[in-house]
Amino acid sequence: MIELMAIASIALKTSLVIVAAGLVSVALRRESAAFHHALWTSALALCLLMPLAVLFLPSHDVVVLPAAQTTIIRSAAPSGSIVIALLLIGSSIVLIRELLAAIGLARWRRQALAASTPWSATLTRIATAQGFDLRGLRVVESEHIASPCTWGVLRPTLLLPTAGNAWPESARHTALVHELAHIQRRDALCTLIARLACVLHWYNPLVWFVAARIRNLQERACDDAVLRTGAAPSDYAQFLLDVAADPSGMPRPARMAIGMANGSSLRARIVAILDPQATRSRPHRPHLIAAYTSLVVVTILLATTSVAVEPPPLPKIPPLPEIAVLPTPPLSPVRAVPAVPAVPAAPPVVPQLPVPPRQP
């Protein structure tokens, strides 16, 4: 029962952290996509830390459940060991899925070829103009994809389509600016945080919703980075539609990477690109610090709040029956007894010792 209550408490507190992030996002809805991406990513990072905070931070009882309610929960809930086993099985399934995707990406990288001259020349010009260091970046090319994509936290990999060699210089420039924005923003790390949160809290639909939200927002943030370089919104939107309409599509391994035309939110991205009133600036640091601080405070308050169980009431002891008190009979008067004269003590008797006869 204790384990089941702890699991339910962590699930509830994780959901409340996401709700708090949603309230902050609604309050600051006019902020850029980059701001909302950072906000939701920090929320999932705190969800990852919630079990550790619940276990190691001191707690205080705030909510008290009555004994009758806990009795009903205990009788209706399954065994704690069964729930823990189900949680481990679900997390293992999601983790195996992510590991298989990582293995597929590694195999895809080994099968790719080195980038050709048109892509390399455009990439060098962009890196020189933006001051981007290409030494830790592995750039490869494949004929099985239709749009660029990237992945990798410690050593990023940029996979480029071979068909892009025939694109105009402006199209290659736009695609590379988008993908380099992913690398500069460390979106691969944010994606890893979202996937780990889904592994740990696989049973919580809010976590999956936020993970999908993060993936969509990071694409919109990179779209804003492209538009900040001076690209025309209509031309960029048409370029995304042309890339997404390519019949070759994205193979399954590349779908797990961060691609500019990947995902089901392309329509929302097109609407945001063509919106003249959308905020496209980088996140304001004071706003980010205020949002982070509020989420951390909410997480600490939730982690240190525990649910106490009211002890069952003590059994009532029935009162003892009253004992009838018998009336006390009246006492007879006590007669005075005359004093007895004292008997004089007899003198002590001294024994007489025999006198020995005298010698003549």
> Which amino acid is present at 209?
F
Task: For residue 233, name the pLDDT band (cuts at 50, 70, 90).
Answer: very high
**Domain coordinates of the chain in residue numbers?**
1-77+283-313, 111-281
One-letter-per-residue 3-state SS of the chain: CHHHHHHHHHHHHHHHHHHHHHHHHHHCCCCCHHHHHHHHHHHHHHHHHHHHHHHHCCCEEEEEECHHHHHHHHHHCCCHHHHHHHHHHHHHHHHHHHHHHHHHHHHHHHHCEECCHHHHHHHHHHHHHHCCCCCCCEEEEECCCCCCEEECCCCCEEEEEHHHHHCCHHHHHHHHHHHHHHHHCCHHHHHHHHHHHHHHCCCCHHHHHHHHHHHHHHHHHHHHHHHHCCCCHHHHHHHHHHHHCCCCCCCHHHHCCEECCCCCCHHHHHHHHHCCCCCCCCCCHHHHHHHHHHHHHHHHHHHCEEEEECCCCCCCCCCCCCCCCCCCCCCCCCCCCCCCCCCCCCCCCCCCCCCCCCCC
CB atoms within 10 A of CB 223: 26
- Written as six digits, the tokens of 333 are 């008067």
CB atoms within 10 A of CB 219: 27
Task: For residue 355, name the pLDDT band (cuts at 50, 70, 90).
Answer: low
- Report whether pLDDT(287) > 50: yes
Q: In terms of pLDDT, which residue wins out, 314 or 19?
A: 19
* Whole-number pLDDT of residue 59: 76
> What mean pLDDT is predicted for residues 11-29?
93
Rounded to an integer, what distance in angstroms lies between the CA atom of residue 346 and that of residue 360? Answer: 42
* Whole-number pLDDT of residue 220: 93
* Whole-number pLDDT of residue 331: 61
> Which amino acid is present at 10?
I
* Whole-number pLDDT of residue 6: 77
Residue range 75-96, pLDDT digits in tens: 545 566 788 888 899 999 999 9
User: Which of 40-44, 155-159, 250-254, 353-357 bottoms out in mean pLDDT, i.e. has the lowest?
Assistant: 250-254
> What mean pLDDT is predicted for residues 23-30?
92
- Report whether pLDDT(130) > 80: yes
- Written as six digits, the tokens of 16 are 């409340």
Tell me the sheet residues that pair with 65: 309
Tell me the sheet residues that pair with 151: 157
Task: For residue 198, name the pLDDT band (cuts at 50, 70, 90).
Answer: very high
Residue range 43-61, pLDDT digits in tens: 999 999 999 888 888 877 6
Which residues does 104 contact at the CB level (< 8 Å), separation at least 6? Answer: 252, 253, 256
